[in-house]
Structure 1
């Protein structure tokens, strides 16, 4: 637990002094796990801070990190803070132009990069404000660049004089110091630098202490981008609590790492949990026979028990059966996920209630949260022992949350940003009388828990005047076994359509099972049987939606929406403007010459839909 108003850097200093031999960072390289203890980590951070001070970097100046997760990422982050520098993360998928925009806007002096690709993309930035490139990974070809120095060359024992200068900087740190500039991922416009100071961090950590139970025994697996506020804030919170962080540079390897590193906690986003849920169920069903029947019966009883917990009732016979199911079925699933997960914070988008219930039955508490970059991540989160879904819990202690005009969620508290860097007008638009206007819509339920509906800017208005909340529809439809991603189109249209990326493994398995022959994936997508099956699945998945909300036409897209192509953000949110522009022809084809189609195969042109009039 943290004492009130202790500077986060001083908390880290305490941890290094109190438990120097305790492991703090873990990573896997060349098939082997490696680690630093607190003594090694703190010593390296001091040495790097000393070198940056020796080279003339002054308090308040900017350094950037342009890389995937690694122990070096956190090392540079902490070293920058020790030297009273401002750390500016850049998403590793950013193009040279995007990175240059952030570097120029913030005034980054030194830029730390990861793998070769990131270093190469960063080289042109030396023509701007960047003075020094520091590749953090080993074996990087620096292309004979005189302004590039490998990280390993910057870390060496400090002279007594230089150590005194580092100690002085640490002594002089202030809670009012700017800690970081985090540029928003930009789903709705040009990224803006969010100014967060150490007081924001201190207040946020204190708020978390009052809601969560995190301590020295905890180990988190960090696989979401550290360049995003969500993962980075959580990693720093774990460190200040004296816990351990295992970094993962490739999210696709999480399944491999979980049973090896055995984390107690890890941050997740809904799409990750949906994939885990679908994968576990698919494996059980594929096994067939007795294993499949046991899994289905165990899940059925587990969900029934969950309903009893929600109602506050008890069925002793059911509870006894569930204890047996836990030993026979669910314990094995938990072991595959490491066996020690006791809390999985989840945010970034709406989590399907069925997925949340699935993990509750497994005995893995998913702690649903809500927050933004501007609020240093968490505003609300669910309590321990929460058995209900569909809400994001209560505000953290010390945070005021209200519902403003047009059902907008507004927030006030010590975790709210200082403002947008060099953008007073943009700051004034969202900060009014100390209240931050989030742009999200929601309401409080009867228990006082916050329920999210959608983003104001993402609400779509059909030509018939109906408002569509795309994220809710996308989340519901993406639960289909043959569907990987969905992008809803409805703005100023007279019906809802969708771009759908199929789940290729499942789709190709299905095609094989019904003996469909095809030369390539594009041919498979055009097969009439596949179109019919997709249409049938959509009808099933859209039960419960209002008629005007339902997808009436769809186009199957052959490749996933990706971060690399700019179609989704690093936290897997759709960049709708990019998608609409890239798939303009496909979208227009779905509406061409048609006022309304009830189904993709209908020929009912010029037919009026009363729901859209």
Structure 2
């Protein structure tokens, strides 16, 4: 049984809590910009002192409305400045935030708010308010609904005005009820296999994670210099961790609610750190390649990409890059790499990625262009990262070393177990599930992995997702899927084969890149149904499948695939709000397509379209 831990670099104070971060910042860094608001005409900085005052003003309004310590308050909005403002205000009165994805259906809204017993909810739009109203009968505890964008009755203004006469002592008394072990939030898990579970995370969990992340990544969190642009949904634990880490450091934080404007926002905000999920970094790479090919410079881009990967791989050798490689790298830096860095804001040298595997080639590509992506690993139950790559010693292809102050163990069956102060305390209203998730103080992640001799963790798949073919071969889908999805044409890939004679895959395509690819191949005029069956397209998808198969044995390789029309989306019910596949839903909805993969044995090839 493997096990590895690192000593803590941050200790949670005995009286520590999240609102205390703002008070400390106002006192020590009062005039330092800790937030920037995009008002449509550029970014306007908000100092630590002003943010603290705005939070307390909203918090007094919550007190006036009767929100008491321990109460649960829903928060449903895109990522925006007001989310952080309201979140910290809820904590300041000793209450507990229940985030709700702004894309949630009325049924999902009802579950989160009813299961948590929320007494109030802050929504973003009148449409969100209408959705809450449609399920109001299922929410007997709900007393208040405030709307951020309601014309003439905006939530922040209403609460600030309502709390104007609340004495400071009353607010201090409410905040004083908090301890490090007070619940801070109830985050509902993605629900890939059933009803989402309410994961209770404490102030200690956030302070432990963020304090140790900031300490370990110190050069990336320099007060008065560093900045991060947050575009992930704040209903997700990863984004909430970044929100708190920015306040703990403190560094300047900006919010983006619409990823369609992300390129422009990166250029105007110019963050020193970029964070995201692998799909973001894949899209940047694929878009750059497509643009180069459209301009007749595809061959130059491909050579530049190969050089970047080779240069990064050479950095991990004792000799380092040889002089011919260094020369090519210097030339391509002038021609290609600096433009790619500019597309990411121009100032950032590092990114933080989580949620899924980035893929070794893409990791080496980014480090090779001077933009190192630090992969990490965590779950809602671990308050986001339980492992991450050191800024000065990343090991590409791994998710890094354990968070300082925590321990990671690999069980005899390969499951990753975690122990530390950053763990959730329970699943709300589900003691049985909480007990089943723990063994002797260790959290059972459900992920499979391995530790190397230096404590770097590699994740190889989900325990529950392991397929067993008719021949008895165990297959971890994530290994192949991550490789296939890295191809520019591919949007999603789901490996199938439980109880079947061989492994197959369902594949959807990236609409934007597919259009460019088809035009470049002279197939732009074909109807979609003909294009998806065209031999040249299927051959291109086969290349993606071959890339995935290169990572596994023949018995585990994809031998047949089906290209599906459309995409797996949250709206279609096939993805969770955090963009994880709902495998059981996909398998149910595309049962006929899966059966068709096995109509005949694809003899004579490692992969074959059906």
Shift of 1:368: 0.9
Shift of 1:76: 0.8
Query: Separation in 2 of the partners of 1:501 and 1:78?
Result: 40
For residue 9 of structure 1, what is the aligned residue in structure 2? 19
For residue 377 of structure 1, what is the aligned residue in structure 2? 384
Shift of 1:182: 0.7
Shift of 1:320: 5.1
Moved more, 264-273 or 55-64: 264-273
> What are the ranges of 5 or more consecutive residues in structure 1 without an aligned counterpart?
141-147, 604-613
> What are the ranges of 5 or more consecutive residues in structure 2 without an aligned counterpart?
1-8
For residue 187 of structure 1, what is the aligned residue in structure 2? 192
- 8 Å CA contact 1:525–1:558 kept in 2: the answer is yes
Q: TM-score, normalised by structure 2?
A: 0.91
CA pair 339-528 structure 1, distance change in 2 beyond 3 A: closer
CA pair 517-248 structure 1, distance change in 2 beyond 3 A: closer
Q: Among 166, 169, 174, which residue is 1:169 paired with? A: 174
Shift of 1:536: 5.5
Query: Separation in 1 of the partners of 2:520 and 2:560?
Result: 26
Q: Among 285, 300, 315, which residue is 2:293 paired with? A: 285
Shift of 1:537: 5.2
Q: Among 291, 312, 315, which residue is 2:318 paired with? A: 312
Query: Separation in 2 of the partners of 1:47 and 1:113?
Result: 18
For residue 495 of structure 1, what is the aligned residue in structure 2? 502
Q: Among 240, 252, 264, which residue is 1:244 paired with? A: 252
Moved more, 483-492 or 149-158: 149-158
Query: Separation in 1 of the partners of 2:404 and 2:349?
Result: 22
Q: Among 394, 397, 406, which residue is 1:390 paired with? A: 397
Q: Among 118, 127, 132, which residue is 2:128 paired with? A: 118
Shift of 1:72: 0.8
- 8 Å CA contact 1:552–1:598 kept in 2: the answer is no
CA offset digits 1:175-234 (Å, max 9, x no partner) = 121111111111122211111111112222232233111132221111111001011111
CA pair 237-225 structure 1, distance change in 2 beyond 3 A: same
- 8 Å CA contact 1:2–1:241 kept in 2: the answer is no
For residue 607 of structure 1, what is the aligned residue in structure 2? none
Shift of 1:31: 5.1
For residue 212 of structure 1, what is the aligned residue in structure 2? 217
Q: Among 542, 551, 555, which residue is 2:558 paired with? A: 551
Q: Among 266, 287, 308, which residue is 1:302 paired with? A: 308
Shift of 1:151: 3.5
CA pair 511-23 structure 1, distance change in 2 beyond 3 A: same
Q: Among 273, 276, 279, which residue is 1:271 paired with? A: 279
- 8 Å CA contact 1:352–1:475 kept in 2: the answer is yes
For residue 5 of structure 2, what is the aligned residue in structure 1? none
- 8 Å CA contact 2:69–2:177 kept in 1: the answer is no
For residue 143 of structure 1, what is the aligned residue in structure 2? none
CA offset digits 1:243-302 (Å, max 9, x no partner) = 12111111222122111100111321111111112222232333335xx55544444443
CA pair 395-168 structure 1, distance change in 2 beyond 3 A: same
CA pair 487-601 structure 1, distance change in 2 beyond 3 A: closer
> Does the residue aligned with 1:487 lie in a helix, a strand or coil?
strand
Query: Separation in 1 of the partners of 2:563 and 2:166?
Result: 65
Q: How many residues align?
A: 593
For residue 100 of structure 1, what is the aligned residue in structure 2? 110
CA pair 305-517 structure 1, distance change in 2 beyond 3 A: closer
Alignment of 1:132-531 (within 5 A): 132-139=144-151, 150-156=155-161, 158-159=163-164, 161-213=166-218, 214-216=221-223, 217-289=225-297, 292=298, 294-314=300-320, 315-316=322-323, 318-319=325-326, 321-386=328-393, 388-516=395-523, 518=525, 520-531=527-538
CA pair 508-327 structure 1, distance change in 2 beyond 3 A: closer
- 8 Å CA contact 1:269–1:571 kept in 2: the answer is no
> Does the residue aligned with 1:526 lie in a helix, a strand or coil?
coil
Shift of 1:65: 0.7
Query: Separation in 1 of the partners of 2:574 and 2:424?
Result: 27
CA pair 601-417 structure 1, distance change in 2 beyond 3 A: closer
Higher relative CO (Cα under 8 Å, sequence separation at least 6) belongs to 2
Query: Separation in 2 of the partners of 1:541 and 1:173?
Result: 49
Alignment of 1:70-89 (within 5 A): 70-89=80-99
- 8 Å CA contact 1:210–1:397 kept in 2: the answer is no
For residue 40 of structure 1, what is the aligned residue in structure 2? 50
> Does the residue aligned with 2:135 lie in a helix, a strand or coil?
helix
CA-based RMSD = 2.5
Shift of 1:353: 0.4
The reply to whether residue 579 of structure 1 matches residue 586 of structure 2 is yes
For residue 144 of structure 1, what is the aligned residue in structure 2? none
Shift of 1:532: 4.7
Query: Separation in 1 of the partners of 2:22 and 2:334?
Result: 40
Shift of 1:108: 0.6
CA offset digits 1:347-397 (Å, max 9, x no partner) = 111111011001101111211111111111111111123353221111121
- 8 Å CA contact 1:215–1:238 kept in 2: the answer is no
- 8 Å CA contact 1:270–1:347 kept in 2: the answer is yes
CA pair 519-51 structure 1, distance change in 2 beyond 3 A: same
For residue 58 of structure 1, what is the aligned residue in structure 2? 68
Query: Separation in 1 of the partners of 2:84 and 2:521?
Result: 50
Query: Separation in 1 of the partners of 2:406 and 2:609?
Result: 52
Shift of 1:313: 0.8
Shift of 1:4: 4.1
CA pair 319-514 structure 1, distance change in 2 beyond 3 A: closer
For residue 610 of structure 1, what is the aligned residue in structure 2? none
CA pair 505-40 structure 1, distance change in 2 beyond 3 A: same
- 8 Å CA contact 2:126–2:150 kept in 1: the answer is no
> Does the residue aligned with 2:571 lie in a helix, a strand or coil?
coil
